[in-house]
Structure 1
Amino acid sequence: MINVTPDHPIAHEAYEPLKSLKCDYVNIIAHTYQKTAHEEGFFIAGIYPNTIEAGFNRLDWLAEYEQLQETKKLEGTA
């Protein structure tokens, strides 16, 4: 079980669902699976409302994700 941060490889999968939530704090959980003998993949296992103590601030997460995407565009890596 992995917490998905805005810089995680599958953060893009959480972006739209996260925008539509109305709660202030969330927990975004991913699990891993074996893609090849040497590579793991990730999938979103759940996006849940959470508390200030245990979750990410939803709006902060979205803002950081958007900033990272903008930086990638400027660097030409997106």
Structure 2
Amino acid sequence: MEAAKAEILGFCESKSANKSKFYFNDFTKLFPDAKAREVKKILTALIQEEKLVFWSSGSTTMYGMAGAGKQAASEGED
């Protein structure tokens, strides 16, 4: 579980110059042998640890690094 968390955080940090929010499917591609439910549990643990945050447009839910991206300052996440 800890190795998977580190891999997700590393993926987010490596893409942070171009992207601040990611779809769930972006993370399932990191773990092609894992079931979607297992990936969801890892993401939920990272949200509970406040390392990742949910972002919703109303129709789409995405994941992002806590305090990163254009929305972070306007939403008081900085």
TM-score by length of 1: 0.27
Q: Which structure's CA Rg is the greater one? A: 1
Structure with higher strand content: 1
Higher helix content, 1 or 2 = 2
